[in-house]
Structure 1
Amino acid sequence: MYEAIFIPEWISAPSKDIINQPDLQVYVKDFGKNKGDLCLVAQVSDKIVSAVWVRIMNDYGHIDNETPSFAISLLKEYRNYGIGTELIKQMLMKLKLAGYK
């Protein structure tokens, strides 16, 4: 989840324990127990290098209680290869098939 946090270049990266803060835990706490919790990952050899996950939650991008919010995490060394784009496309297809607008 740490790699999903946007950190502008001019700001020092926070410590990795920031992911334990309650306003970030909303993205992962009890994931899979709620309707609409979906996740896809990209794996290289035995290493998960990216994940995209969606859930209906009251987060920064909350639209309504019928629209899932997206989160994506991609290890820096695997960026700019289209991995994240492909995961997003696959998740959008999955959401459309599930009946989400």
Structure 2
Amino acid sequence: MDYKIRKLKKDEVRILEIFLYEAIFIPEGVEPPPKDIINHPDLNIYISDFGGKTDLCYVAEVSKKIVGAAWTRIINDYGHIDDETPSLSISLLKEFRNQGIGTTMVKQILKKLKEQGYKQVSLSVQKKNYAFNMYKNVGFEIVRENKEDYIMVCRL
């Protein structure tokens, strides 16, 4: 598949609404939540007023269409470690998953975060989420867990 990874442009920030919804892991056989769930404060913090000093986002493009996004920001979210560690979010449209695009986006954002002087990046992933293996393969390690989720960190 021919794709390009690039930084998100300021005038494209609203597209993160689509990818925030796509980032919600929905186990097989479970009814997807309504799209307006992204307005819930626990989810909206991932994209609200995106574009600040610590915010970073890369997107994947196929035929000039954005098909995926990986973004970080320092927020008190599910994967929060401390106030110096950005939290990673990533998603792809369903038809573009499992083709290496997400791995490429994550590697690009990890490289940029390291260049910016960050020591680590964190995320939260549900234990049943197939993306767990990809996170392990790019260097994330489990630092905490609860009944449903792993909290993972990648040291840069």
Q: State the Cα distance separating 1:87 from its structure 2 match.
A: 0.2
Instruction: Give the % identical residues.
Output: 68
Is residue 97 of structure 2 the alignment partner of residue 79 of structure 1? yes
Q: State the Cα distance separating 1:8 from its structure 2 match.
A: 1.2
Alignment correspondent of 1:37: 55
Is residue 79 of structure 2 the alignment partner of residue 64 of structure 1? no
Query: 76, 89, 109: which one pairs with 1:91?
Result: 109
> Per-residue displacement from partner, 1:79-99 (whole Å, max 9, x unpaired)?
111000000000000000000
| Bigger Cα displacement from structure 2, 2-11 vs 51-60 | 2-11
As a proportion of its length, which structure holds more strand?
2
Moved over 6 A (4+): none
| Bigger Cα displacement from structure 2, 8-17 vs 48-57 | 8-17
Cα distance in structure 1, aligned partners of 2:56 and 2:31? 31
Please report the TM-score for the alignment, with normalisation by the length of structure 2: 0.62
Q: State the Cα distance separating 1:11 from its structure 2 match.
A: 1.6
| Structure 2: stretches of 5+ with no match in the other structure | 1-19, 120-156
Cα distance in structure 2, aligned partners of 1:52 and 1:98? 16
| Structure 1: stretches of 5+ with no match in the other structure | none
How many matched pairs?
A: 100
Please report the TM-score for the alignment, with normalisation by the length of structure 1: 0.95
Equivalent position amino acid for 2:21 in 1:
Y
Query: 47, 69, 74: which one pairs with 1:51?
Result: 69
Question: 2:67 is paired with a residue of what secondary structure?
Answer: strand
Equivalent position amino acid for 1:17 in 2:
D
- Across the aligned residues of Structure 1 and Structure 2, the Cα RMSD in angstroms comes to 0.8
Alignment correspondent of 2:42: 23
Cα distance in structure 1, aligned partners of 2:38 and 2:110? 25
